[in-house]
A and B are shown apart, each in its own frame.
Chain A
């Protein structure tokens, strides 16, 4: 069940759900506000960064809640709120397939190339 996948992680095949700890669909009960992931831009010019999650009835409400929960000390200048179940993330078991191919391509790094010191900074 995808709504459980949070903390910036996958929506799809989640261990959390398959462990049976969370009955699917429970979040739809009246009175249980859905879960939102919160991203804060700490200052103008920097990216929004994930900082946690919270429950809120809708996006506007989530923004208000995020302001109270995550920016009480001027931690940010801008907020993003995203329904947790809409976040799609790679699964831990796909880590090798996704990221290992980059390991043997060291020629993609500038330090791979020998340049004579006389050339100076390049």
Chain B
């Protein structure tokens, strides 16, 4: 951009920028038609669309168990839960679209690998206990992350998150309850739960993102009222809430350093393997290729349905016009 033009643009935007800043300071909401800085728009667009992608990809690991659920009751619950995740994806895509990007474009970015989604879904679901652990821990961590987003400065995102959080509570509770049933079962069932917890615990802690001192965008997002609580604070909240739940359940959390600290009033915990986290985020996790492949396959397989529905709608409309004429 030419310097002269950049300067002109800045002075043009100055009064609007001041109004925007004032509204953010006053904890007011920004709505789609309001003026907003381009960086605010693109930050939100990236965050909301990645959040939507995570909900959609998140259907896959659990969907894996729908046909193998141990009872009709558990199958009905899992179906409802997976459908909710799809619904959450749709609420979020709809919120992201208010920022001016077409849904097709967002999907294209997911399918081409340019857009990210939560790394937690790049791990396999090896046993039925994984379904319970995903509900309890993965959805539990997601809720911790999402509750502050209900107060996000961007109205459509905040409203979508209110709806999502209400529904996530069912997800976490059904997971915990299903694990409780298994923990009252045979030694093999209890071992299955412990194994699932062992595999997912550290991945769940990484879901909150890098430590605060290694999270460069957090400060700006906090200033804009997009990110209300820091990664490390949320992670600590999650650990503090989860330890007693694990004790009640009778499972061991796989961290020898996990210990109550009376001075801080929190649990201390061991180091997280961030190298593994970054590797998976970059695409080298155990299921990255499989997840994206399944998503692209489903989208391609559905193309004729989308085309046919649109053709049908056009035909119906043409018929109505003819009959009216």
Q: Do A and B truly interact?
A: yes
A-B contact count (CB 8 A): 97
Q: Are A16 and B98 closer than 8 Å at their CB atoms? A: yes
Residues of B134-184 contacting chain A, CB below 8 A: 155-156, 159-160, 163, 167
Q: Are A19 and B38 closer than 8 Å at their CB atoms? A: yes
Listed in ascending order, the chain A residues whose CB lies under 8 Å from chain B are 4-7, 9-10, 14-17, 19, 21-23, 26-27, 29-33, 35, 51-55, 57-58, 61, 68-69, 72-73, 89, 91-92
Please name all residues of chain B whose beta carbon is closer than 8 Å to the beta carbon of A6 when the two chains form the complex: 32, 94, 97-98
User: Total interface residues on B, using CB and 8 Å?
Assistant: 38
Known: A58-B313, A72-B84. A4 touches B100 (CB 8 A): yes
Please name all residues of chain B whose beta carbon is closer than 8 Å to the beta carbon of A58 when the two chains form the complex: 309, 312-313, 316-317
**Does B200 touch A at the CB level, under 8 Å?**
no
**Other-chain residue from A29, A31, A52 in contact with B94 (beta carbon distance below 8 A):** A52
Q: Are A89 and B102 closer than 8 Å at their CB atoms? A: no
Main secondary structure of the interface of A (DSSP, over half): loop
**Does B99 touch A at the CB level, under 8 Å?**
yes
Q: Report the separation of the CA atoms of residues A10 and B163 in the bound assembly, to the nearest whole angstrom.
A: 24
Q: Report the separation of the CA atoms of residues A57 and B100 in the bound assembly, to the nearest whole angstrom.
A: 20
**Other-chain residue from B33, B91, B316 in contact with A9 (beta carbon distance below 8 A):** B33
Interface string of B79-95 (1 = CB under 8 A from A): 01001100100110011
**Other-chain residue from A17, A22, A61, A91 in contact with B309 (beta carbon distance below 8 A):** A61
Known: A10-B33, A16-B33, A91-B33. A69 touches B100 (CB 8 A): no
Q: Are B100 and A16 closer than 8 Å at their CB atoms? A: yes
Q: Are B94 and A53 closer than 8 Å at their CB atoms? A: yes
Please name all residues of chain B whose beta carbon is closer than 8 Å to the beta carbon of A61 when the two chains form the complex: 309, 313
**Does B101 touch A at the CB level, under 8 Å?**
yes
